[in-house]
Structure 1
């Protein structure tokens, strides 16, 4: 990392090209598609960058047009990709998004054995991790391959030893692995996490004895497994945070017209972590997280709708604190 300024947030994971149908109906010859790209960790890096903090992303893309598009897009958003790898041995992954009906999306992934899944511990820039204030990982990357899993496990253990705040979004994907396997693997990450993000179904991977309709209890139970903060994302119902001192903070969602729900959770995380980097208290972290999520769902695409600081006032009228 010599000669480079440290990034406040460092993240690692998979990014892939996206071909998204622009009109409702089954995919068929002549279906109009919009080309773009996406990735959970990359979305968080973009969100944090747009909100005024430096961010870096590590991952692998293919030595192809899709990979070049992804890296150029991240650079354009101010995200440092100097530690990313272009893999000549595997192409960039692909996501197909079909608008099967006007209000139902259907997603297909082509990622097994492709560039994003070939991440290894050797790809990590340890000096960059120790220079960061926050390391952010998700439960998607460990599901991609044994080497990607090892990379995440090495990153969180290395960051924790260096005193870097570790953020972990469970982000369970049932198409990638079973709940039983996910619970076994991801439970190993919890003791390294300072902050864990989850939905009720994801939290149930680790605290199956707590009813999902009691999110406050679920969040408190998660803090007893290691994280100092457990953030439960409740969708349209808002979110809540339990802290290690048993405090509970609740935040309603910001009411907006939802256009595309994909990426809302990652947008929420980016707002929370940006406010953490601001030095804001938990209540303000939840506020910025809720605003970021509301902006994201109001625009088609995973990350395109993420807000900049100057835009936050656009939803001020809807941001009603209860």
Structure 2
């Protein structure tokens, strides 16, 4: 990969307060809660920053202490905060963290938020100044007409500037019914250079072949959980990557670490095979960490790829 100074990335998405229950506890038995700052696109920006790439984040936040709390967290991640203050509240969700066969569960409280007050009229051309790429996700497209319009306006502006457009379908069935998914996410998928999609969500488009029909030129990256991942190239070649063995408390945010790692390697001149392997290492290391954001050096990730890390302590 190139040793040149890395180009920056702009991400766009909602900031949230995640209220996490103790492991294996159910909401019906609610006791202690742990507040964490969350948001898929912010997680991607955090992954890029920990890898040494400049990253900025655009959102809508309320005034007052809760908005200030999110802004302080963004600054602590060393991500440039371009959020706009808007009327409304901070989105919240509750998370039950379980292990198979009991599924984890999220309960959203995301109506009337400051993020939903954003519109395409908020677009600021300077946000993309000097950026190499834009990253957006289907979550923003599902949260209402205002955020959807601004996300698509950003995609259009990025295309005009020649910046890479990275789109993660990131379908949330609690926000958008399956039958509306293809129409809602399609306009972004059609214009993306990189499209990330979980295998279960690719079927919303008719599989990777359906996404290819929408966009003949994109790299389509399909994540398959413990069965690894694959990149579908425009010429029809499919590159596969096994998942790295991993364990730990950090399943939430793993897909965002994967997307951030792939985008970082792609912008650094890595081949699709190299980017896929690097992304898989990012997802593996994220799983070892609590919270939603990846914290790892590129050297640690190279060691995972090389198979030189073990569970023995360094002494």
Question: Deviation digits for residues 11-50 of structure 1, max 9, x if unmatched?
Answer: 1110111111124323368722211110000000000111
Residue number in structure 2 paired with 1:315: 304
**Does the 8 A contact of 1:272 with 1:288 survive in 2?**
yes
- Could you tell me the TM-score, scaled by structure 1's length? 0.87
**Does the 8 A contact of 2:278 with 2:305 survive in 1?**
no
Q: Which stretches in structure 2 are left out of the alignment for 5+ residues?
A: 1-5, 310-315
- Matching of residue 92 in structure 1 with residue 82 in structure 2: no
Question: Deviation digits for residues 232-263 of structure 1, max 9, x if unmatched?
Answer: 01111111101112222111001111423211
Question: Deviation digits for residues 39-84 of structure 1, max 9, x if unmatched?
Answer: 0000000001110110110001121322212211111111111x21
1:45-194 residue pairs with structure 2 within 5 A?
Answer: 45-81=45-81, 83-87=82-86, 89-99=87-97, 104-194=103-193
CA distance in 2: counterparts of 1:101 and 1:219, whole angstroms: 29
Q: Which stretches in structure 1 are left out of the alignment for 5+ residues?
A: 1-5, 208-217
Segment of structure 1 superposing worse, 168-177 or 183-192? 183-192
- Matching of residue 289 in structure 1 with residue 289 in structure 2: no
CA distance in 2: counterparts of 1:126 and 1:90, whole angstroms: 25
Q: Give how far 1:284 is off.
A: 1.3
CA distance in 1: counterparts of 2:30 and 2:190, whole angstroms: 50
Residue number in structure 2 paired with 1:275: 265
Residue number in structure 2 paired with 1:257: 247
**Does the 8 A contact of 2:196 with 2:220 survive in 1?**
yes
Tell me the SS of whatever aligns to 2:25.
coil
Residue number in structure 2 paired with 1:31: 31
CA distance in 1: counterparts of 2:198 and 2:205, whole angstroms: 12
Corresponding residue to 2:232 among 232, 242, 249: 242
CA distance in 2: counterparts of 1:84 and 1:234, whole angstroms: 33
**RMSD in angstroms over aligned alpha carbons?**
2.3
CA change 1:241–1:23 in 2 (3 A) is closer
- Could you tell me the TM-score, scaled by structure 2's length? 0.88
**Does the 8 A contact of 1:220 with 1:246 survive in 2?**
no
Q: Give how far 1:319 is off.
A: 7.7
Q: Give how far 1:315 is off.
A: 2.9
CA distance in 2: counterparts of 1:257 and 1:78, whole angstroms: 27
Q: Give how far 1:132 is off.
A: 1.3
